[in-house]
A and B are shown apart, each in its own frame.
Chain A
Amino acid sequence: MYAVEVFNLKKRYPKKIPLPLRKVEWVEAVKGITFKVKKGELFGLLGPNGAGKTTTIKMLTTLLEPTEGEARILGYNIRKDAREIRKRINLVAEGERTLYWRLSAYENLKYFARIYYVPKREEKERIEELLKLVGLWERKDDLVMNYSRGMKQRLAIAKALINDPEVLFLDEPTLGLDVQSSIFVREFIRKLVDERGKTVLLTTHYMVEAEQLCDRIAIIDHGRIIALDTPDGLKKLVRDEDAVEIRLKGKGTFDNLPWRMAVVDEDSERGIITLRGQVDEEELPKLVEWLVKKGAKIISVEQKEPTLEDVFIKLTGRGLRD
């Protein structure tokens, strides 16, 4: 039994609001994606910013109407059964302003409990349980505006569990969080799946996050799924050769090389650029020569274990960074 089934889903946005008599241009954000998520699975959509991840999540959570294609959540059709779906799912949206800052944590959860029809006799108990679960019980009466970014995100997760959803959607759950909060959030999500049997669909552009956390990953780019497998399965795509990481100093752009390499890091303070990709042993000297000709000072050339980033670079010729 699948929790999420997606068939050839497409979404076109108008650039302006289409009022009567107004001609508008349309942009295609999602260009036909198909995938299934099993019950109790932790599924990731990995891709760079603007790949269509958020649009996909908004369609699956019934916030946006798809232009074409179909999707079912727990067997319900996202076009026709929005209300049935909304009762059984929840979402942690991107950004930190998805809660009422002028209410306390407790008041926020109380409000959402009510608009999710949580029975009155369960309300108190559930709010207490959730606030303890995310470690905010001690500060339940503080206004959200006095919370740190990490605390706000933990509260957003508690809010997303208020209706005990069967499927939980998370859009970039660790974006902008400090290291400690990120670790907390990741471990928490894993536990939701392992211990409570929830189905989770999350989006991220951090490949480490996808690799550590997800049972299966769909790599999405320009509105299309370009690969879908377990992290190990995906890495098999690049396993036969090792990855090469070149660190260099130099001005100019090193994107769009004639090899499948991409800039994966840029230390603008020290002027150090890190390139990564898969290059044959015979090709490597040519690449280095080419870089030197372009004015680069090579600092180091290293062989690395392949990661999901290498998969993405191999498939698209670009890196995942912002």
Chain B
Amino acid sequence: MILPAVIEKEFRMFFRYPLRVVSSILVGLVFLLQFVFFGQAVLGGRYSQLLATSTGMGDYPTYALIGYVLWWVSVSPMEAYVWGVRRELQRGTFEMNILSPAKILELLSGLAISWLLMDSALMGVVFAIGALIFDIPLTVSVILKSIPIILASLFAFLGFGFIFAGLVMLLKNIGPFAQIFEFSMIFFSGVFFPLSVMPEWLVAFSKIFPLTHAASAVRAIFVGKTYAEIQGEIGWLLFLIPLYWMIGYLIFKWAEKITRVVGYGGY
């Protein structure tokens, strides 16, 4: 029962400070507002014919809100490894965890799942507030239909972030690089603008990110498409889940071997 223990610990440490929760939600909202309001000011309204032609969704606030919320959640496991693990390494609590008979893999994935759940909760709130501010029409059926897609996406995000679990144990200054990488995902995956403005090779490259497919699938559901019409995206997601879990696992095993030689306090 390692997972619940890790999740409970992380939740207690985060939700103990209500002001921190509020500030996280506000940070989430402000970045969203920046770009949506900018888009609206440039557009002189909320509907873009060009966006509708290239992506199938013309309403800019809805388009941006879905992409943004998913982006935030998608980088959450990465953040858990880069910052969560690093924090525990620096403080010395990491070794105390490793020392226990629990498997490292269980402890680490527990950390990533905790952060993913916390961020999902925060982004749920941001999504609700965003939907209110921008007056986005929501129906129960659209939300219910999105849930399986979102769940599959979460699994893919976890696998994708897992790559960083191994790296952070080896490279101590990975933080700024991770941040640059996280922000470039916004570009690669078409969070705030349609990917059609990007060069073709980049569009092809963007296919390796689970976020690209997750965002495009959920947007499609929101404009009333059926699962059959988005089987391409769903297929990609289902393909990427085992792929990233496997790559992440291999990197992790390699990193673990080295850290056992160098020491976990290698910092």
Question: A residues near B, CB below 8 A?
Answer: 13-14, 17-19, 58, 61-65, 67, 83, 86-87, 90-91, 93, 95, 97-103, 107, 110-112, 114-117, 159, 163
Instruction: Return the chain B residue nearest A95 by Cβ.
Output: B92
A100 near B5 (CB under 8 angstroms)?
Answer: no
Shortest Cβ distance from residue A279 to the other chain B in the assembled complex, whole angstroms: 42
Contact check: which of B95, B100, B261 meets A112 at CB < 8 Å? B100
Q: Is the CB of A115 within 8 A of B262?
A: no
Is B228 in the interface zone, CB < 8 Å from A? no
Q: Is B138 an interface residue (CB 8 A)?
A: no
Per DSSP, chain B at the interface is helix
Contact B261 A61 (CB under 8 A): no
Chain B residues near A (Cβ < 8 Å): 1-2, 4-6, 8-9, 12-13, 16, 91-93, 95-102, 107, 170-171, 258, 260-264, 266
> In the complex, given contacts A91-B99, A100-B13, what are 8 additional A-B residue pairs having Cβ atoms less than 8 angstroms apart?
A14-B262, A19-B170, A97-B92, A100-B93, A110-B5, A111-B5, A112-B100, A159-B96
Cβ contacts under 8 Å, B101 to chain A = 83, 86-87, 115-117, 163
Chain A residues, CB < 8 A from B97: 115
Interchain CB contact under 8 A, B96 and A98: yes
| B35 vs chain A, min Cβ distance (A) | 33
Check A63 against B98 for contact (C-beta < 8 Å): yes
- List the 8 closest pairs (A to B, CB-CB), nearest first: A114-B5, A86-B101, A65-B260, A115-B102, A97-B91, A115-B100, A87-B101, A102-B13
Q: Which residue of B lies closest to A98 (CB)?
A: B92
Contact of B261 among A65, A90, A97, A163 (CB under 8 A): A65
Q: Are A103 and B99 in contact (CB under 8 A)?
A: no
Inter-chain contact count A-B, CB under 8 Å?
88
> A91 to chain B: which residues have CB within 8 Å?
96, 99
Given contacts A87-B101, A111-B8, A116-B101, contact A17 B262 (CB under 8 A): yes
A65-B260, A86-B99 as given contacts; A103 in contact with B9, CB under 8 Å:
yes
B95-A93 in contact (CB<8A):
yes
Given contacts A86-B100, A115-B5, A117-B101, contact A93 B92 (CB under 8 A): yes
B12 lies within 8 A of A103 (CB) = yes
Closest Cβ–Cβ distance, residue B167 to chain A (whole Å): 11
Which residue of chain A has the shortest Cβ distance to B14 in the bound complex? Answer: A102
Q: Which residues of B contact A99 (CB under 8 A)?
A: 93, 96
**Closest Cβ neighbor of A117 among chain B residues:** B101
Q: Which chain B residues lie closer than 8 Å to A14 at the CB level?
A: 261-262
A322 to B92, CA, bound (A): 23
A97 neighbours in B (Cβ, 8 Å): 91-93
A15 to chain B, nearest CB (A): 10
- Of chain A, the residue at the smallest CB distance from B90 is A97
User: Given the complex, which residues of B lie within 8 Å of A58, measured CB to CB?
Assistant: 263
* Closest residue on chain B to residue A29 by CB atoms: B263
Q: Are B91 and A107 closer than 8 Å at their CB atoms?
A: no
> Please, how many angstroms separate the alpha-carbon atoms of A90 and B101 in the complex?
10
B9→A107 contact, CB < 8 A: yes
Known: A102-B16, A117-B101. A18 touches B262 (CB 8 A): yes
- Contact between A64 and B170, CB atoms less than 8 A apart: no
Could you say which residues of chain B place their CB within 8 Å of the CB of A19? 170
> How far is B2's CA from A141's CA once the two chains are assembled, in angstroms?
23
Q: Which residues of A contact B92 (CB under 8 A)?
A: 93, 95, 97-98
Q: Roughly how many angstroms separate A110 CA and B7 CA in the complex, as a whole number? A: 13
A17 near B99 with CB under 8 A, answer no
One of B1, B9, B13, B260 near A64 (C-beta < 8 A) = B260
Q: Which residue of A lies closest to B8 (CB)?
A: A111
Instruction: Return the chain A residue nearest B4 by Cβ.
Output: A114
Provide the bound-state CA to CA distance between A243 and B170, in Å.
50
CA of A97 to CA of B93, assembled, Å: 7
Residues of chain A with a CB closer than 8 A to B12's CB: 102-103, 107
Would you give the shortest CB distance from B263 to chain A, in whole angstroms? 5
CB pair B264 A63 closer than 8 Å: yes
